[in-house]
Amino acid sequence: MNTIRIAVSACLLGERVRYDGKEKRHALIMQLADEFVLQAICPEVAIGLGTPRAPVQLVASSTGIRACGVSDPGLDISERIQAYAQMQCEALQACAGMILKSRSPSCGLGSTPLFDSQSRQTGLSDGLFAGQLRKCLPDLPMVEDSALNTNDAIAEFVARVRRRAQRC
Ligand code: SF4
């Protein structure tokens, strides 16, 4: 019986939770269900946002990086996402790894476009959910979907997950 858990951004498992009502099923990641328990997690739906919903982007501000509406800068989900991530830090200790959707303002792991107040892209950042988890779970193997596009990359991640599971 599979007992080792990997948390996965829900859209990568084919759940229609994206802002546009679509999903981003990832065939190689789905195959991991043969060996592991894949636990779907979508922070934006978890904080009560609907599907579809207004898209948000990361914006650098004097109070730090915030997740604000693309067409409505007054929409700001930063506090809710960070509070949810903080809440999940303890629960996710039961997982031996995490796979996150690249470029997402919540889930991205270093790949999410960061904008200034004039909507000019200034760089890349962690999404707010992923960034918080990186801080509170520094030893948890975490990877983006975009880094799992070959069988070798999957095998390397699986080895990290198994090592983590043995230590716990
Ligand atoms: S990237 Fe993250 S927040 Fe966006 S739909 Fe997928 S799981 Fe939800």
Residue 24, pLDDT > 90, answer yes
pLDDT in tens, 98-110: 999 999 999 999 9
Per-residue confidence (pLDDT) for residue 2, from 0 to 100: 81
- Quick check: 167 pLDDT over 90? no
- With cut-offs at 50, 70 and 90, classify the pLDDT of residue 77: very high
As a whole-number percent, the residues of the chain with pLDDT over 70 amount to: 100
| pLDDT value, residue 63 | 92
The pLDDT value given to residue 1? 78
Q: Calculate how far, in angstroms, residue 18's C-alpha sits from the geometric centre of ligand 1.
A: 6
Name every protein residue with a CB atom under 6 angstroms from any ligand 1 atom.
Answer: 9-11, 17-18, 42-44, 101, 104, 106-107
Domain ranges of the chain: 5-167
Q: What is the mean pLDDT of residues 107-122?
A: 97
Mutating to test ligand 1, I would choose from 42, 82, 142, 146 the residue with most ligand atoms within 8 A of its C-beta, which is 42
> Hey, what long-range contacts does 20-27 have (CB within 8 A, 24 or more apart)?
20/52, 20/55, 21/51, 21/52, 24/101, 24/145, 26/145, 26/148
